[in-house]
Amino acid sequence: MPKKSINTKQAPAALGPYAQATELNGTLFVSGQIPIDPKTEKLVTGDIQLQTEQVLENLKAVLTKAGYGFQDVMKAEVFIDNMNEFAEMNQVYADYFTSNPPARACVEVARLPKDVKVEISLVAMKK
């Protein structure tokens, strides 16, 4: 079975030569999302909580298009530009992963695309 590319207009278009997600044998790999509002195609600016919420809404749209949900997420990778804002990001993140949360890595990076504060990628699996 070949890999399947997943794309939805409910999430921002890819900024380069990649799919929003790819799926193979019940495993979904979701590309990193940044806080771009897909309706306006504008960057959501402001604090890390606003940006994290938009990122998670974008991820939700990609998961939904592929027939998955946050309950199917096995691994999340969070990239933030300032570890001092971890608690604020984590408050919003916890609203989306309310029970049985996935494994997660969170790292501070020097710079993210479009100089945003947060980017998150996911791996989800179906039984």
* Residue 85, C-beta contacts closer than 8 angstroms, at least 6 positions apart: 47, 48, 117
Would the pLDDT of 41 be above 90? yes
Helix H segments across the chain? 48-65, 86-96
Length of the chain: 127
Would the pLDDT of 1 be above 90? no
Which pTM was predicted?
Answer: 0.96
What percent of the chain is modeled with pLDDT above 90? 94
Tell me the two tokens of residue 95: 């609203």
Q: What is the mean pLDDT of residues 4-30?
A: 95
- Tokens 């979701």 locate to 30
- For residues 28 and 70, the answer to whether their CB atoms sit within 8 Å is no
What percent of the chain is modeled with pLDDT above 70? 100
Q: What is the mean pLDDT of residues 8-24?
A: 94
Which amino acids are annotated catalytic? 106
Cα torsion 37, 40, 45, 51 to 10°: value is -10
Over residues 44-76, the pLDDT tens digits come to: 999 999 999 999 999 999 999 999 999 999 999
Would the pLDDT of 127 be above 90? no
Spell out the domains of the chain, with CATH numbers in brackets. 4-125 (3.30.1330.40)
